[in-house]
Chain A
Amino acid sequence: MRAPLRRLLSCVAVLFWSGVLLYFYASGRINSYLAQDFRLIVFAGGLGLGVLGMFNLLTAWQKADCGHDHGGESHDHETGDVHPLVAFLVMLVPVVLSVAWTKDQYSSATLSRKGLYDTPAEGASPIFAASMPPLTREMIEKGHGRTEDGFYEFSLMELFLATGDRELQSAIGGMKVQTTGRWVEEKNNNKAGTRKRLYRLFMTCCVADSRAIPIVLEFGKTPPHFEENAWVRVSGTMGFPLEKGLLQPVLVVDHAEAAEAPEEDSFMRK
């Protein structure tokens, strides 16, 4: 393949990647993919790729002399390992398909794989614990807002992690709490069909390393209808009953309503 055409293919691939990075950053969709401290890096990377691609595109027909010899080898800084057309297709096709396919969230099958139905004891890790502030009974009362109906506002993460901490269980157990998360089916211990599950993701760096942080919702009757993965705010009484030998975070729900998506889809490491 002639050098200018080879350069053109590379430039198009590089510029396309640049466009995708910049689009996801500018549209805010990047929030569903990366932790906060990576987002600006993506923006810089997108700009850098744009400059690299444009520079090489505008100079594709220009000759360049690097000014040194190559010890008897062919004088070339440009011939790659892979055929340029193959490289072009490999760089473009998966990215184009992924941009077309993505819904910025996982399906329930992959959420299951990422701990949606694991017990908190199995899913909890030092990473999660390290991301939480120390919590005492005093702090619970001082550090949490209260709704007009008298429910303390908790993050789902706190309720999830309390399952592995006896002190927190005794402090939070029996409290009237309100929390927000995504609504999914409950597949465990739900023969009566009175339960649902509420979750959010915990992201360390990118969405591929994220884990689901769930609690169980008990309605005592047929639960109301919300779309799968819809954001829902629930209020009720928190408990940590032993079910099949394992402690479970169960919220006995008084009230459930649709909620606005929070600014950040996922919890992030601190």
Chain B
Amino acid sequence: MRMSPDSQQDFALAFLGILFEGVPFILLGTLASGFIDVFLPPGMMERFLPKNRIAAVFMAGLLGAVFPVCECAVVPVIRRLVKKGLPVSCALTYMLAAPIVNPITALSTWKAFQGQQEWMMTSSRLLLGYFMAVGVGLIAARMPLSSILKPKVLSAGDAEAKSHEHQHGDGCCGHVHTGEKPDRLLASLRSGMKDFVDVGVYFTIGVAMTAMFNTGIAPGAQWLDGLAKNPTIAPAALMALAFILSLCSTSDAFIAATLDKFPWGAKLAFLTFGPMMDVKLLFLYQTVLKKRFILALAVGLFLAIGALSMLWQNLAVSLP
């Protein structure tokens, strides 16, 4: 596709506008993630969870407020925690909720939607994200682990559970010292930069696509505008877009806020579904979860988030 000088000018303006808006929040999110990655000792998270399984699932949905991790960083963390014996229902709940129910995402959503019912959008996103994650966790609690986890992860979890007792006896739970003096600040800033670059790549692609749709350069931009007017198809279209764009939850609100032709409920669906299921997560989930479970998760989230977003929009509109 060859762009005319006018199209280049329009693309550049929209692209840089969205990029400038989102980059500081990505930096904040990835630095926090880098510090958690390096400084958080294994076993720390389990200490926050109650022993009752149901209560633990509800609590796991709130752990993102204490350990704010974006969706890219959360999967490796979950993989490690499941291997170390964290209940799968809690791990899944944390995995789905943490990218949304955390202060950095809340701040970026509130900031991005200034002048567009920012409080309503931020609270709706957090609540819908939390309850969807808890719902998945509660369902997973009733399922056999063999239908959720990959056999490799399942067997590693068993082995780890056995060695875990031994490590507790040693008084050094999962904290193996290598003999070298740890330089955690350097390691965390390196991890932070790695996360920034990873997220930056997806964000750049997402911003480029959004800028092309926003300025009408992309083929199908008019068609997408047409979908925005259909109250049923609009949330589905934006969830599909979120799936393809694979944006980070710390910055996706800046994209959603510019989709001005779409209704409020569709944007909520975009902001809730995207951090739970997208192209890159599909690959990351496969390192822990069975393909059949991922498919069921994707379909379930798509239908439930779409329906609840539409319902919530109708309720919100009817409020005085």
Interface residues of A (CB under 8 A from B): 7, 10-11, 13-14, 17, 21, 24, 30, 32-35, 37-38, 41-42, 44-45, 48-49, 52-53, 55-56, 59, 62-73, 77-82, 84, 86-87, 90-91, 94-95, 97-110, 113, 127, 130-131, 204-209, 211, 269
Nearest CB in chain A: distance from B105 CB, A:
16
Collect the chain B residues with CB atoms within 8 Å of residue A37's CB. 114
Interface centre among A38, A42, A71, A269, by most chain B C-beta atoms within 10 angstroms, is A71
A67 touches B178 (CB 8 A): yes
A106 touches B9 (CB 8 A): yes
Interface residues of B (CB under 8 A from A): 6-21, 23-24, 27-28, 31, 34, 37-38, 41-42, 72, 79-80, 83-84, 111-112, 114-116, 156, 160, 174-178, 180-184, 186-194, 196-198, 200-201, 204-205, 207-208, 210-211, 214-216, 254, 257-258, 260, 280, 284
B15 touches A55 (CB 8 A): no
Cβ-neighbour of B13 out of A52, A105, A108 (below 8 A) = A105
Collect the chain A residues with CB atoms within 8 Å of residue B258's CB. 206, 208-209
Interface centre among A48, A95, A97, A208, by most chain B C-beta atoms within 10 angstroms, is A208
A208 touches B14 (CB 8 A): yes
Chain A residue with minimal CB distance to B18?
Answer: A208
Contacts A94-B15, A113-B215 known; A127 to B200 CB distance under 8 Å? no
B200 touches A106 (CB 8 A): no
B187 touches A64 (CB 8 A): yes
Q: Report, nearest first, the 6 A-B pairs whose CB atoms are least far apart.
A: A67-B182, A45-B24, A102-B12, A107-B6, A69-B176, A77-B191
> With A30-B20, A59-B186, A67-B175 given, can you name 18 additional A-B contacts, CB distance below 8 Å?
A10-B197, A14-B196, A14-B197, A24-B16, A41-B24, A52-B192, A52-B193, A66-B182, A77-B38, A82-B201, A87-B200, A87-B201, A90-B205, A95-B16, A106-B10, A206-B20, A206-B258, A269-B115
A107 touches B190 (CB 8 A): no
In angstroms, Cα B43 to Cα A76, docked, is: 19
Nearest CB in chain B: distance from A13 CB, A:
6
A113 touches B216 (CB 8 A): yes
In angstroms, Cα B112 to Cα A34, docked, is: 11
A-B contact pairs, 24 of them (CB 8 A): A42-B23, A42-B24, A49-B23, A63-B183, A66-B38, A68-B38, A71-B84, A71-B174, A77-B190, A87-B201, A94-B207, A95-B19, A99-B16, A102-B9, A105-B13, A110-B216, A113-B215, A204-B114, A204-B115, A204-B257, A205-B115, A208-B17, A208-B18, A209-B257
In angstroms, Cα B84 to Cα A49, docked, is: 34
Contacts A48-B27, A106-B10, A269-B114 known; A208 to B190 CB distance under 8 Å? no
B27 touches A71 (CB 8 A): no
In angstroms, Cα B11 to Cα A208, docked, is: 10
Contacts A69-B175, A106-B9, A109-B6 known; A52 to B201 CB distance under 8 Å? no
A127 touches B16 (CB 8 A): no
A206 touches B21 (CB 8 A): yes
Collect the chain B residues with CB atoms within 8 Å of residue A62's CB. 183, 186
B20 touches A38 (CB 8 A): yes
Chain B residue with minimal CB distance to A43?
Answer: B24
A90 touches B116 (CB 8 A): no
In angstroms, Cα B8 to Cα A173, docked, is: 41
B254 touches A71 (CB 8 A): no
Contacts A98-B11, A208-B211 known; A65 to B178 CB distance under 8 Å? yes
Nearest CB in chain B: distance from A11 CB, A:
7
Contacts A101-B12, A205-B115 known; A42 to B20 CB distance under 8 Å? yes
In angstroms, Cα B187 to Cα A209, docked, is: 38
B20 touches A21 (CB 8 A): yes
In angstroms, Cα B194 to Cα A131, docked, is: 41
Chain B residue with minimal CB distance to A207?
Answer: B17
A206 touches B17 (CB 8 A): yes
Chain A residue with minimal CB distance to B207?
Answer: A94
B204 touches A94 (CB 8 A): yes
A65 touches B194 (CB 8 A): no
Chain A residue with minimal CB distance to B208?
Answer: A94
Chain B residue with minimal CB distance to A9?
Answer: B197
In angstroms, Cα B161 to Cα A8, docked, is: 40
A101 touches B41 (CB 8 A): no
Collect the chain B residues with CB atoms within 8 Å of residue A99's CB. 12, 16
A127 touches B38 (CB 8 A): no
Contacts A64-B187, A66-B184 known; A104 to B201 CB distance under 8 Å? no
Collect the chain A residues with CB atoms within 8 Å of residue B38's CB. 66, 68, 77
B115 touches A110 (CB 8 A): no
Collect the chain B residues with CB atoms within 8 Å of residue A63's CB. 180, 183
Collect the chain A residues with CB atoms within 8 Å of residue B215's CB. 106, 110, 113
Collect the chain A residues with CB atoms within 8 Å of residue B20's CB. 21, 24, 30, 33-34, 38, 42, 206
